[in-house]
Amino acid sequence: MIAMNKKLNGAVLFLCMALGATAQDLTITIPKTDSTAYRCYPVKANTVFGLRSQIACNANGPFSVNIDRDMSFGSLGSWVSISYNNNPITISTGQTAIFDLAVRPPAGTTDYEYDMPVNIKAYKNGSSVSGFAPAQFVVIVDNTPPTDIALSKRSASSQSVTLNFDAFDVMSKKYTDVNPDVGRKGIKQFTLALKDQEPGIAGPAAGQLPQG
């Protein structure tokens, strides 16, 4: 009787190991935000943008996978549409399933950083498996124009004028802080338009200074 119990326990243990999965078997990433502390490029409310989520099978495949809507996006699931109607995709070890996300903060959304976790739903041999680390992205909603706009003359000669100019954007700065290649202080670029103040006299084109 003791020997039979040992064999039965061994069979149960083997079955659990066959159905189970480790946290490293599947990983989900959003490459576009991996290098920007999960932050997305700032958008205004009611603007749609896209992100690509990738679920990679690293070991013990195959798995059937999709995005776990019930566990993802917090209370903001209505902002997100998922490609292929989020239908499950079967992937073997070494393969990757791609689910494109279309994100639209609705009209009236206030300026803020909105955290969006993205979780995997997975099945192996017809049974649900879990324990995989989520991905994450942060939606920056920025409806407010830049502030602290300053323009001053630095120097002047008979041929040129050198100007100093600066501005600041509170919400967009959260993105340029982690991706300085796209701007500074939340400002992507400055555009100067020069206009002649005397009617009837042709002035220089925008962005040019008069000569001589």
Query: Domain range for residue 192?
Result: 144-212
Is 126 found in the same domain as 38?
yes
Query: Are 109 and 165 members of one domain?
Result: no
Q: Which of 110, 141, 172 is where one domain is finished?
A: 141
In a domain, 12, yes or no: no
pLDDT band at 153 (very low <50, low <70, confident <90, very high): low
Please say whether the beta carbons of 140 and 171 come within 8 A: yes
**How many residues are there in the chain?**
212
- Whole-number mean pLDDT of the chain? 78
CATH number at residue 42: 2.60.40.10
Query: Number of structural domains, the chain?
Result: 2
* CA 121 to chain CA mean position, Å: 20
Query: Do 121 and 177 fall within a single domain?
Result: no
As to burial, measured by CB atoms within 10 angstroms (0-12 exposed, 13-18 middle, 19+ buried), residue 198 is: exposed
Task: Note whether 70 and 167 are same-domain residues.
Answer: no
**pTM higher than 0.75, yes or no?**
no
160-167: average pLDDT: 63
pLDDT category of residue 137 using cuts at 50, 70 and 90: very high
The answer, yes or no, to whether residue 155 has pLDDT greater than 60, is: yes
Q: Which residues fall within 8 angstroms of residue 177, CB to CB, at 6 or more apart?
A: none
The DSSP bridge partners found for residue 54 are: 29, 98
Q: What is the pLDDT of residues 32-69, one digit of tens each?
A: 998 889 999 889 999 999 999 999 999 999 999 999 99
For residues 170 and 202, membership in a common domain is answered with yes
Mean pLDDT of 78-89: 96
Q: What is the pLDDT of residues 91-128, one digit of tens each?
A: 999 999 999 999 999 999 999 999 999 999 999 999 99
Q: Is residue 124 part of a domain?
A: yes
Considering the domain architecture, whether residues 130 and 157 belong to the same structural domain is answered as no
Closest Cα partner for 212 from 163, 168, 157? 157
For residues 82 and 184, state if they share a domain: no
Question: What are residue 36's phi and psi, to 5 degrees?
Answer: -125, 35
